[in-house]
């Protein structure tokens, strides 16, 4: 990886492009139906970009275009600097794809399964065995390496699918609902692995409905709705869309209630998780927290209800109704 002089644009040394994925004005029609109506998106190398939107927003259609499985009706698409419509083989050599519903060869073992795909990508035969063993360890399937795939759980098959997408060491990784079927520990391991891949310079694009996971994982977010890009921003910048409810919990409930009442803040609900406060901006929430601490209220938790990414998603969709 290198950087162009005078700016922070990361350039791939092989393809020479400034972002792993670039999408500009992409449309896609199926007969009279418009699935995409002008999508714009970029996914830089070295970062994880979250693709967020409701069902029917066009996320899967866009991923299929990026994965060379559909062609756009109009617009510009570049994956690792190449056009998937005119150079699908070149894109596939540089891109890893993990769809939401991944079929696997049930009678093979995970080792055989990954070896098959490594050979299909024409990886040096002398390197295949070591690469497959390393991948199985990275996705925590080493102990199941020589068992038939059909005995694996859904979550284990998801991890095998991720290993398959990584077998040729792609520069760009497309993931559609990668955490589906994973238990909490496996989701945490997935986060660590994707962060590791991004740190190594891979451009990762993730589509998921688990917004709390994306908020912890992603560097950037692209909101889409009705086949169009609604907003594209750094994760840290989504707070400007948010006027969300907040939840506060303290060791002394009576002191918390008195302090809130003194400031004219009435909790909407109270439970073991804490007191749910009315919607407010980050600035107002920070001022309220400072006031509570100044009143010697022993606050142990204070944060937005549901997370900022979820709140921003709901706010943007509300604006479009």
CATH number at residue 257: 3.30.70
Q: What is the pLDDT of residues 50-107, one digit of tens each?
A: 998 888 889 999 999 999 999 999 999 999 999 999 999 999 999 999 998 777 888 8
Q: How confident is the model at residue 287 (pLDDT cuts 50, 70, 90)?
A: very high
pLDDT for 15 equals 43
Of 192, 213, 238, which one is at a domain's C-terminal end?
238
Q: Are residues 14 and 161 located together in one domain of the fold?
A: yes
pLDDT at 190: 85
Among 16-30, 44-58, 97-111, 225-239, whose mean pLDDT is lowest?
225-239
- Residue where a domain stops, chosen among 238, 253, 270: 238
CATH code, domain carrying 74: 3.40.50.300
Same domain, 63 and 190: yes
The answer to whether residues 148 and 279 belong to one domain is: no
pLDDT band at 277 (very low <50, low <70, confident <90, very high): very high
The count of structural domains within the chain is 2
What is the side-by-side order of every strand in the sheet holding 21-30? 33-43, 21-30, 74-79
pLDDT for 315: 64
Domain limits at 298? 242-319
| Residues 119 and 141 occupy one common structural domain | yes
Q: Check residue 317 and give its pLDDT.
A: 62
Mean pLDDT value of segment 225-231: 89
- The reply to whether 247 and 233 lie within a common domain is no
Determine the longest span between alpha carbons in the chain, in angstroms.
Answer: 73
């Amino acid at each position: 990886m290198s950087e162009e002089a005078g700016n922070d644009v990361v350039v791939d040394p092989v393809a020479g492009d400034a972002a792993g994925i670039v999408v500009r004005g992409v449309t896609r029609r199926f007969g009279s139906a418009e699935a995409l109506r002008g999508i714009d998106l970029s996914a830089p190398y070295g970062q994880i970009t979250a693709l967020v939107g409701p069902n029917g927003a066009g996320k899967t259609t866009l991923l299929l275009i990026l994965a060379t499985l559909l062609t756009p009706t109009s617009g510009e698409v570049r994956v690792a600097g190449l056009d998937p419509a005119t150079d699908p083989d070149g894109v596939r050599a540089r891109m890893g794809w993990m769809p939401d519903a991944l079929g696997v060869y049930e009678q093979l073992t995970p080792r055989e399964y990954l070896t098959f795909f490594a050979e299909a990508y024409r990886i040096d035969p002398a390197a295949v065995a070591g690469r497959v063993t390393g991948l199985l360890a990275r996705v925590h399937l080493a102990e199941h390496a020589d068992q038939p795939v059909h005995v694996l759980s859904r979550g284990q098959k998801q991890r095998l699918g991720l290993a398959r997408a990584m077998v040729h060491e792609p520069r760009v990784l497309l993931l559609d609902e990668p955490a589906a079927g994973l238990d909490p520990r496996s989701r945490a391991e997935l986060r660590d692995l994707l962060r590791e891949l991004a740190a190594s310079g891979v451009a990762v694009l993730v589509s998921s409905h688990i917004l709390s996971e994306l908020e912890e994982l992603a560097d950037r977010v692209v909101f889409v709705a009705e086949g169009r890009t609604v907003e594209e921003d750094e994760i840290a910048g989504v707070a400007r869309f948010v006027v969300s409810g907040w939840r506060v919990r303290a060791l002394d409930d009576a002191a918390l209630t008195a302090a809130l009442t003194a400031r004219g803040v009435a909790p909407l609900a109270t439970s073991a998780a804490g007191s749910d406060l009315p919607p407010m901006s980050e600035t107002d929430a920070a001022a309220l927290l400072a006031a509570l601490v100044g009143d010697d209220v022993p606050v142990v938790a204070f944060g937005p209800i549901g997370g900022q990414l979820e709140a921003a998603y709901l706010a943007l969709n509300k604006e479009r109704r």
